[in-house]
Amino acid sequence: MSRRNRKYAIPGAERGMQAFKAEVMKREGYVVDSSRPDDVKYEVAKELGVPLQPGGNGHLTTETAGQIGGRIGGSMVREMIRLAQQQLADREP
């Protein structure tokens, strides 16, 4: 899969999001190199039995590739929801 050219609305947000991804995926039990958190996709792919390789992966279906991103993104979203709930609970009198 080629890396998308993401543009974040807030300058500097990419670094924070990459650090957040690394932290979340470490908690999920994956080995994550903090300097290359996107590489966790290869470990997730291996666990799912998806033949993801650096470079071109045009042979993968959208569904198959989505399994990898879904595992990573789903974990991140669950953690964001947990953090938001915790902040709301901390504010209640």
Map the chain to HEC letters.
Answer: CCCCCCCCCCCCHHHHHHHHHHHHHHHCCCCCCCCCHHHHHHHHHHHHCCCCCCCCCCCCCHHHHHHHHHHHHHHHHHHHHHHHHHHHHHHCC
pLDDT in tens, the chain (93 residues): 445 566 788 888 888 988 999 999 999 999 998 888 889 999 999 999 999 988 888 899 999 989 999 999 999 999 999 999 999 999 876
